[in-house]
Amino acid sequence: MSTALGNSIIKDINLAPSGHLKIDWVAQHMPLLNTLQEQFERDLPFKGKKIVICLHLEAKTAYLGLLIKAGGADVAMCASNVLSTQDDVVAALVERGVTCYAIHGCSNEEYMEHINKALDFQPDAIIDDGGDLVSTLHSDPSRAELMKNIIGGCEETTTGILRLKSLDKEGALKFPMVAVNDAFCKYLFDNRYGTGQSVWDGIMRTTNLVVSGKTAVVVGYGWCGKGVAMRAKGLGARVIVTEIDPIKAVEAIMDGHEVMPIVEAAKHGDFFVTVTGNKDCITKEAFEVMKDGAILCNAGHFDVEISKPDLHALSSNVREVRKNIEEFTFTDGRRVFLLAEGRLVNLAAGDGHPAEVMDMTFALQAMGLRWIVEEGKNLDPHVYSVPEEMDKYVANLRLQTWGVGIDKLSTEQARYLDSWAE
């Protein structure tokens, strides 16, 4: 095994043994990636290419990195969040020949240094999660030359795609990017069932408290919010949803949840989960009326959804009371508890989405990357949807691995659906 220790910046290579076990565990539960691995080893679609990947560095993303490497690429990986990095997994990746720049809990300055080190790798293509690679490339004039070599890339999440679309709208995007999040086989399953399960897993393992009988306030009823609310209900909580979009609010009510403004919901909640991709969704006005003991956490991409400046301004004392739990004591004596510094609770205080769910997302990532490497030179620098046949291929492969068959349209049915006269 040739290691990539020389160029990497990591916590400790001696942590690798438990990282290998974690990667091997998820690999057993990612049959789609295993199928792609056979194809990639045969076709070597990334032969001679340098690929830089910026993702939450835990076992499932590590397995994706190894798949891209199996496809012939030279791979460098950096983190998309300072708290989601698992140092043992990073060490194992390095032992398996992937260059890594990531240390759990590093400072924001170090985080940016790692991103820049990864870019120094001079990628031919990238995978981004949240847009930090792309925005660093586009905002630093010294990176202009580098961008000329980049064939294109893939973006993992809602927030990153919003950032890409605003770059594209300004005509400033320099290479084509695939919006992986917007594929059906991504957001319908990863955002909804993945976030739904892993957010409550993160909250429960961090707090060791019961959810049943409590009130959970879910801020934002998009694809992630729907999953978080659905699983809260399943755990026995009363669920209140807050929204800014009237259609989503109607949807939440029809799904059986209560809807009200955040300042009203703030009085009732025992747990608050923000999952909007927006900033300042829970601020001073809400903190001022919260119950003593309320637990706050975020599952949106950035730690800006719960106002940490407001929490600090209202507090006479702040202390860590348990791993990943900060207690804020307000001047009137009430306390609220913030999990994982307001960063993605399922990743910063858990292992992220279940492996089987990420299997579908990462199959799209790997196939999307192959498509962009093969076709990118012919594409203008815009944001592209995952091709429909790729989405269907992933769904069919998923069904196959479950051993589930479905019906086929007959020629007569296809003709009937296509005609207007019958």
H-helix segments, 86-180: 87-95, 108-119, 132-139, 144-149, 158-169
Is 220 a binder of ligand NAD (CB under 6 A)?
A: yes
Q: Mark the segment that binds ligand NAD (CB under 6 A) among 59-67, 83-91, 298-306, 311-319.
A: 298-306
Beta carbons of 286 and 307 less than 8 angstroms apart: no
Q: In whole angstroms, how far apart are CA 420 and each of 379, 415, 416?
A: 36, 10, 8
Written as six digits, the tokens of 309 are 């400046």
Specify the residue, 69 or 163, whose C-beta has the smaller distance to ligand NAD: 163
Is 245 a binder of ligand NAD (CB under 6 A)?
A: yes
Is 82 a binder of ligand NAD (CB under 6 A)?
A: no
Beta carbons of 263 and 286 less than 8 angstroms apart: yes
Beta carbons of 130 and 34 less than 8 angstroms apart: no
Is 275 a binder of ligand NAD (CB under 6 A)?
A: yes
34 marked as part of a ligand binding site: no
Near ligand NAD in 124-183, by CB under 6 A: 157-159
List strands edge to edge, sheet with 125-128. Answer: 99-101, 74-79, 50-55, 125-128, 152-155, 177-179, 383-385
353 marked as part of a ligand binding site: yes
301 marked as part of a ligand binding site: yes
158 marked as part of a ligand binding site: yes
124 marked as part of a ligand binding site: no
277 marked as part of a ligand binding site: no
Name the nearest CA neighbour of 62 among 17, 28, 19: 19
Is 300 a binder of ligand NAD (CB under 6 A)?
A: yes
CB of 337 to ligand NAD, least distance (A): 19
H/E segment holding residue 55: strand 50-55
132 marked as part of a ligand binding site: no
H/E segment holding residue 101: strand 99-101
Beta carbons of 350 and 195 less than 8 angstroms apart: no
Written as six digits, the tokens of 112 are 């940016």
- Chosen residue from 191, 207, 315, 365 binding ligand NAD by CB under 6 A: 191
Q: Which residue is nearest to ligand NAD (CB)?
A: 222
Beta carbons of 346 and 353 less than 8 angstroms apart: yes
Size of the site for ligand NAD (CB under 6 A): 29
- Chosen residue from 195, 197, 361, 365 binding ligand NAD by CB under 6 A: 195
Specify the residue, 53 or 281, whose C-beta has the smaller distance to ligand NAD: 281
- Chosen residue from 84, 85, 86, 242 binding ligand NAD by CB under 6 A: 242
d(CA 237, CA 411): 48
Is 243 a binder of ligand NAD (CB under 6 A)?
A: yes
Please compute Rg for the chain using Cα positions: 22
Specify the residue, 221 or 337, whose C-beta has the smaller distance to ligand NAD: 221
Is 248 a binder of ligand NAD (CB under 6 A)?
A: yes
- Chosen residue from 78, 125, 295, 299 binding ligand NAD by CB under 6 A: 299
CB of 244 to ligand NAD, least distance (A): 4
Near ligand NAD in 335-394, by CB under 6 A: 344, 346-347
d(CA 157, CA 165): 12
Residues 6+ apart with CB under 8 A from 145: none
Binding residues: 129, 156-159, 186, 190-191, 220-227, 243, 278, 299-301, 346, 353
**Which residues of the chain form contacts with ligand NAD (CB under 6 A)?**
157-159, 187, 191, 195, 219-225, 242-245, 248, 275-278, 281, 299-301, 344, 346-347
